[in-house]
Amino acid sequence: MLLHDDRLFPADPVTRGIARRLYAGIRDLPIISPHGHTDPRWFAENAPFPDPATLLVKPDHYIFRMLYSQGVRLEQLGIPRKDGGRGKNKVEADPRAIWRLFASHWHLFRGTPTRLWFEHALSGVFGINERLNVENADRIYDRIAEKLEQDEYRPRALFERFNIEAIATTEGALDELKWHDMIRDSGWAGKVVTAYRPDSVVDPEFEGFKDNLERFGELTGEDVTSWSGYLAAHRARRAYFKQRGATSSDHGHATARTANLSQAECEKLFAKLLKGKFSAEDADLFRGQILTEMARMSLDDGLVLQIHPGSFRNHNPHLFEVFGRDMGSDIPRQTDYVTALKPLLDAVGNEPNLTVIAFTLDETSYSRELAPLAGHYPALKLGPGWWFLDAPEAMLRFRELTTETAGFYNTVGFNDDTRAYLSIPARHDVARRCDCAYLAKLVAEHRLDEDEAAEVAHDLAYRLAKEAYRL
């Protein structure tokens, strides 16, 4: 068997026994996926997924960054170049060739979560219980390709099979959300909601910021050349998103900086940005101010505010130039929260009806900053391990570093944050197993009673995400 029933459980028999019992109580709970990047078009059109490589390899950053690190060129993996790619830069068009190349590098993923997710999909979705290798690559490819043509492998059928109770996608502020409308109009019962991600109209350094603002004004009928009109436009779009089920906004700035300027300062800063002559500091201050504005709007409309800071985007200029954004070269940086979040917390941190969820890529902040902050401010909660930290060892550290100060109930359960649809059951399963393993250790060491651990396991797997995100 590719997947052992006891995977990720501690080896000690007593602890493993507890982990098994805890897991048995939650393994079949529905999936709440409150933050992620699946494509709503899948659920709107319900078309079959294409070939195995296009489904499982090409869109997965975890996969192509690892292969790239070992000398595989992105062209070989079928990643499109901006210039189309010719001659020695030809982009591989044959999905089977991409699959074979991937299979020949499968050993690189030993010890990584990609290994766990991929094999869970192979086994759980496609019933394939062989370890991928060069020899069986073609056979596995064919078997997956064959399944993908069947109706029960279409997006909606998988949604039901995955037992997804609710899933959130993420769309930009200017998105018209037509796929979400189409899903709703289709009469299909699957709950697919959007989330408000306004980077393109919030970040003065975003490509096309001024044009984006113009479109922002058109969509809302607000005068976005004034600060008050600009805020009104946000309110309007948030309401529009909320009508399509949104329960949250999401913000991925380079730092966790927030600001709380006076209205006059905001007007002055905004006017400066509109003129296009501004410093990096001006842009950064503005992004920080917007977080506080979003939090204030959340007090009114109830959207949950998600802050995903600390990534140095597009660290590799060569890849950015040739392939564009999101090519696996976003690198975490040290991230301060104590001073960065203070202006926002000063403004709204004591509001018990507000939910601000902070994420991090910098584990040093867990015990030092985030657990103490979330263990104090009523408005602040801790998001689960994000991105590189969505992995078994990192999940264990997350619990070890935060629980003693913030407890379990200032965290918000799991979210998968993925565009890799087939990995969703795997990711939630890994998270559930890791939390059960952690809880089993607490029980085995007589730090928690098993009946309590069972309740916590259920909360972490289901209730906390559902409640925190108001789904």
Q: Which of 32, 401, 457, 460 binds a copy of itself (CB under 8 A)?
A: 401
Q: State the nearest-atom distance from the C-beta of 388 to a copy of itself, in Å.
A: 5
Dist. CA 299–CA 349, nearest whole Å: 11
117 is an interface residue for a copy of itself by CB under 8 A: no
Binding of a copy of itself by 392 (CB under 8 A): yes
In angstroms, the Cα distances linking 394 to 81, 228, 244, 362, 415 are: 34, 43, 34, 11, 14
φ, ψ of residue 411 in degrees (nearest 5)? -110, 170
User: Residue 137 has which token pair?
Assistant: 């690559």
273-312: which residues touch a copy of itself (CB under 8 A)? 312
| Interface with a copy of itself in residues 227-266 (CB under 8 A) | none
The interface with a copy of itself within residues 410-429 (CB under 8 A) comprises 410
Closest to a copy of itself by CB, 46 or 405: 405
Binder to a copy of itself among 52, 332, 383, 384 (CB under 8 A)? 332
Q: Any contact of residue 192 with a copy of itself (CB under 8 A)? A: no
> Which of 164, 130, 85 is closest to 423 using CA atoms?
164
Residue closer to a copy of itself by CB (options 223, 400) is 400
Does position 108 interact with a copy of itself (CB under 8 A)? The reply is yes
Binding a copy of itself (rule: CB under 8 A), the pick from 20, 215, 368, 458 is 368
Is residue 376 close enough to count as binding a copy of itself by CB under 8 A? yes
Q: Does 86 bind a copy of itself (CB under 8 A)?
A: no
Q: Distance between CA atoms of 153 and 157, rounded to whole angstroms?
A: 6
Task: For Cα atoms 248, 252, 253, give the angle at the middle one, nearest 5 degrees.
Answer: 135
Closest distance to a copy of itself from the beta carbon of 405 (Å): 5
Q: Side by side, which strands form the sheet with 356-358? A: 171-172, 196-197, 248-251, 304-307, 356-358, 380-382
- Residues 296, 331: Cα–Cα separation, whole Å: 30
CA 274 to chain centre: 31
* Residue 371 binds a copy of itself (CB under 8 A): yes
Query: Which C-beta is closer to a copy of itself: that of 61 or that of 242?
Result: 61
458 binds a copy of itself (CB under 8 A): no
Residue 367 binds to a copy of itself (criterion: CB under 8 A): yes
Using DSSP's 3-state secondary structure scheme, residue 164 falls into strand
The CB-of-33 to a copy of itself minimum distance in angstroms stands at: 21
Which of 94, 142, 218, 449 is the binder for a copy of itself (CB under 8 A)?
449
Distance separating alpha carbons of residues 126 and 115, to the nearest angstrom: 16
Q: How many CB atoms lie within 10 A of CB 376?
A: 14
